[in-house]
Amino acid sequence: MLLVIDAGNTNVVFAVHDGHAWVGQWRLSTSDVRTADEYAVSLLSLFDRVGLDARAISRAIIGIVVPAALYELRRFCRQWLKVEPLIANAHLDWGEDVLVDNPDELGADRRLNGLAAQKLYGGPLVVVDFGTATTFDVVNEKGQFCGGAIAPGVNLSIDALHRAAARLPRMSVGRPSEAIGRNTNVAMRSGLFWGYVGLVEGLVKRISAEMASRPKIIATGGLAPLFSEGTELFDVLAPDLTLDGLRFLADRNPAPLLSHSPERP
């Protein structure tokens, strides 16, 4: 079985694939101070709840945008699962061309989304990932990653609005029934939700206009189901896209030999 670890800015997602389907997915908050042993306490107990034997894990791969968390995640794989994880970086065989100025600065999550979407749905396409930041990633008809755009995530916008305006409450995002708010709460919800729908629709329209042919529009990320209710923009809702990208990348690359090196990467 394959363990994939998607370490984002907000959450670390652990998922196990048995070669046919995902058999479990779990989320822990991202922390650069959590130790390998703490990961083990949390994750191995979650394995037990679904009857999954940790000894069945034969491979692992890590995609990470928080470099400080890598050392302990790698240690967890080595010490508790007895596997050496692949690290999703530019040195692996991705099977695609990247048409950006500096591939080394490209976030692993963005490239993984492009890889998975191209393999599952074919290009040309635009992947909109609703995460801590909202990213727009473009793959052309040849399967080449062409770049994209990055916007603040909606929860970052909520935090900024609350901090900058003392009298405005902090709230969770939700779809309001109408655009015209007749009180502060509904007005904020309208601005956050419908304003963000407008941002996504407008940016995708501009990106699509620069492409040779109409792309498929793919939505992924934790808030994708919510925002897909407010627009007809998306052709596909793909919640596991980044995890699938890690799975496809692991399939393309040989498993490394187990290392017992204590040194930080």
Taking only the tens place, the pLDDT of each residue in 149-201 is: 999 888 777 776 656 665 666 667 778 888 888 887 788 888 888 888 999 99
Name the more confident of 131 and 216: 216
Say whether 53 is catalytic. no
pLDDT of residue 244: 95
54, 48 Cβ separation under 8 angstroms: no
- What would the mean pLDDT of 195-209 be, rounded to a whole number? 95
pLDDT tens across 92-140, in order?
888 878 888 888 888 888 999 999 999 999 989 999 999 888 999 999 9
Task: Please give the pLDDT value at position 187.
Answer: 83
In sequence order, which residues have a C-beta less than 8 Å from that of residue 162 and are 6 or more positions away?
A: 168, 169, 170
Q: What is the mean pLDDT of residues 26-47?
A: 91
Question: In sequence order, what are the residues at sequence separation of 6 or more whose Cβ sits closer than 8 angstroms to the Cβ of residue 95?
Answer: 115, 252
Residue 257 — pLDDT band, cuts 50, 70, 90?
confident
Instruction: Establish whether 75 is an annotated binding residue.
Output: no
Nearest CA among 80, 74, 24 for reference residue 49: 24
10 is in an annotated binding site: yes
Residue 124: is the preceding peptide bond cis (ω within 30°)?
Answer: yes
From 109, 137, 240, 244, active-site residue: 109
| CA-only gyration radius of the chain, Å | 20
| pLDDT for 87 | 94
Question: What is the residue-wise DSSP string for 84-122?
Answer: PPEE-STTS--SS-B-SS-GGGS-HHHHHHHHHHHHHH-
Residue 171 vs residues 125, 158, 186, 187, 221: alpha-carbon distances, Å: 33, 7, 11, 12, 20
Structure tokens at 75: 């240690």
Residue 184, marked binder: yes
The answer to whether 136 and 153 have CB atoms below 8 angstroms apart is: no
Domains of the chain: 2-87 (3.30.420.40), 103-242 (3.30.420.40)
Q: Look over the chain and give the mean of its residue pLDDT values, rounded to a whole number.
A: 88
Residue-wise pLDDT for 220-252, tens only, equals: 988 899 999 899 999 999 988 999 999 999 999
Contact 167, 187 (CB under 8 A): no
Higher-pLDDT residue of 201 and 212 is 201
Count of positions (residues) in the chain? 265
Mean pLDDT computed over 256-264: 67
Q: Is 108 annotated as a binding residue?
A: yes
Q: Which helix (H) or strand (E) holds 76?
A: helix 70-76
**pLDDT for 76 beyond 90:** yes
Confidence of residue 5 (pLDDT cuts 50, 70, 90): very high
